[in-house]
Amino acid sequence: MAIIDLRSDTVTKPTSEMYVAMASAEVGDDVYGDDPTVNRLESLAAEKLGKEAALFVPSGTMGNLIAILTHTKPGQEMILEEKSHIFQYEVGGVARVAGVQTRPINGPRGQMAIECIEEAIRPQNIHFPETGLIAIENTHNISGGSVLPLEYMRKVSELAKSRNLPVHLDGARVFNAAVALGTDVKNIAKHVDSVMFCLSKGLASPVGSILVGNRSFINKARKHRKMLGGGLRQAGVLAACGIISLESMVDRLKEDHENARLLASELLETGIFITQPEAVKTNIVNAVLDCPSCNAFELSEKLAERGVLVGARSKRHFRFVLHKDVTRDNVIEAISVMNSVKKKNCP
Ligand code: TLP
C-alpha cells in the first residue's frame, strides 16, 4: 500500500541526489573545524541568510536552545508568542537548561501586538527579572504556517533595537515564508539578530538545522552546541544533503503551498472539515472536524489503515502538512480516501 504521509514535512525522504552526495562527501572532524563539507554548508547558509556566520546543529530544537543560551543569562526573561514552538513543543528546555523564564504573549497568526511586546519589556525595578530576548516564529506552525509580514518584523526589530534587546527568529520554515512573501530570505533575516532554520523539513535533508548570526554570536553558540552534546564528528555526510537543500530544494516549496491550498478547499468540500483555504499561505493546513459523530483520533486511525497518515491534535483538530513526497495526485487520492471513510450519518 502506498503511504500518503501528511503528518509533517519532517517525514521527507532524502532525494536521490542527496544519497549520491552522502556517499561521496569529503569529511573531517567537525569539532576540530576540519570537515570541509560542513564548512561549505555553513558558509553557504550564512551567505544565503545575509549573516556573518552559521553553525550546523543536529535539530531545530537544539538550534533554538543554543540561540537562547547564547543571547541570554540565567534568571533573565524572554518574550515569545504563547503558541510558539519554543514555548509549546521544546520540553521546557528554556527553563530547564537555559534557566530563562518565559513571558508568553498571545499573538493571532503568530503576531504579538507591538504594544503588548513593549508592555512586556521589564522596566528597572528591584523585584523584576531582566528581559533578555524577544523570539518570533516565521512561519508560525500552530497558526497553520502563517507568515509574519516584513513590515511587522521591521517593527519588532525597531522596538527591540530601541530597548537594546536581541531578537531571535525560529525560522524552522523561513524559506516557506520567503517563497510565500515572494522575497529573498535575506529580507526576513535582516530584521533579527539570529535565525534558526531547518534543513530537515520541507528542504528534505534527513537531519540538521542551521543557526545564523554575527561572528561573535556564532563563536559563542559553537561552545554551547558542544556543551549540549551537539558537536558532531564526520558530519559532512549530513552537510552534503544540506547543501543540496539550499541549492535546489527552495524553489519547489511553492508546489507544496499550491497543494496545501488545494487540500484545504477539498477538505471543505467533504463536508466534515472546516478549513480556511484563503488563509493557507504556506504548506500547513489546520482543519476542524465538523461532524458530531466523528472523533479526530478515531478518524486518523481509519485513514491510517487506508494508507493516509494525518496528525490529530485533539478530538476535533487536525494538522496536515504538505511536502515534496506528497504530489497533487496524492492530495486528490487522500481526499477520496477521506470521503470513503466517512460514516453514513456524517454530513
Ligand atoms: N516541528 C515539528 C514538531 O516538533 C511539532 C513539526 O512536525 O512541525 N520550530 C518550529 C516552528 C518547528 O515546527 C519545529 C519542529 C522545530 C522548531 C524543531 O525542529 P526539530 O524537530 O528539528 O527539533
- 175 in Cβ contact with 185 (< 8 Å): yes
Q: Give me the pLDDT at residue 49, please.
A: 98
**For ligand 1, atom 16: residue with the closest CA:** 60
Q: Could you check whether the bond before residue 72 is cis, i.e. omega within 30 degrees of 0?
A: no
Grid cell listed for 169 = 527568529
Question: Which of 194, 223, 248 corresponds to the end of one domain?
Answer: 248
* Whether the CB of 283 sits within 6 Å of ligand 1: no
**What average pLDDT score do residues 227-248 get?**
98
233 plus 325 within the same structural domain: no
Transcribe 226-289 into DSSP letters: HHTT---SSTHHHHHHHHHHHHHSSTTHHHHHHHHHHHHHHHHHHSSEE--GGG--SSEEEEEE
pLDDT band at 347 (very low <50, low <70, confident <90, very high): confident
Question: Which of 182, 214, 248 corresponds to the end of one domain?
Answer: 248
315 plus 227 within the same structural domain: no
Counting beta carbons within 10 angstroms of the beta carbon of residue 345, is it exposed (0 to 12), middle (13 to 18) or buried (19 or more)?
Answer: exposed
Q: Give me the pLDDT at residue 293, please.
A: 84
Question: How many residues are present in the chain?
Answer: 347
* Whether the CB of 58 sits within 6 Å of ligand 1: no
Residue 22 Cα to ligand 1 middle (Å): 24
How far apart CA 311 and CA 332 sit, in angstroms, is: 18
Q: Is the pTM of this model over 0.95?
A: yes
**For ligand 1, atom 4: residue with the closest CA:** 89
pLDDT band at 328 (very low <50, low <70, confident <90, very high): very high
* Whether the CB of 88 sits within 6 Å of ligand 1: no
Q: Is residue 139 part of a domain?
A: yes
- 165-187 pLDDT, tens digit per residue, is 999 999 999 999 999 999 999 99
- 25-41 pLDDT, tens digit per residue, is 999 999 999 999 999 99
Q: Whose CA is closest to 103, among 128, 71, 70?
A: 128
- Looking at ligand 1, which atom is closest to the CA of residue 89? 4
Grid cell listed for 69 = 543560551
Residue 343 Cα to ligand 1 middle (Å): 33
Domain that holds residue 92: 14-248
Residue 321 Cα to ligand 1 middle (Å): 12
* Whether the CB of 102 sits within 6 Å of ligand 1: no
Residue 138 Cα to ligand 1 middle (Å): 12
Q: Is residue 4 part of a domain?
A: no
pLDDT band at 63 (very low <50, low <70, confident <90, very high): very high
Q: Is residue 5 part of a domain?
A: no
Residue 93 Cα to ligand 1 middle (Å): 14
Determine the 3-state secondary structure of 127 from DSSP.
coil
241 plus 265 within the same structural domain: no
- 273 in Cβ contact with 318 (< 8 Å): yes
* Whether the CB of 89 sits within 6 Å of ligand 1: yes
Q: Is residue 101 part of a domain?
A: yes
* Whether the CB of 90 sits within 6 Å of ligand 1: no
Question: Which of 222, 248, 274 corresponds to the end of one domain?
Answer: 248
Grid cell listed for 140 = 508560525
**Total domains in the fold of the chain:** 2
How far apart CA 306 and CA 247 sit, in angstroms, is: 36
- 195: pLDDT strictly greater than 90: yes
190 plus 265 within the same structural domain: no
* Whether the CB of 232 sits within 6 Å of ligand 1: no
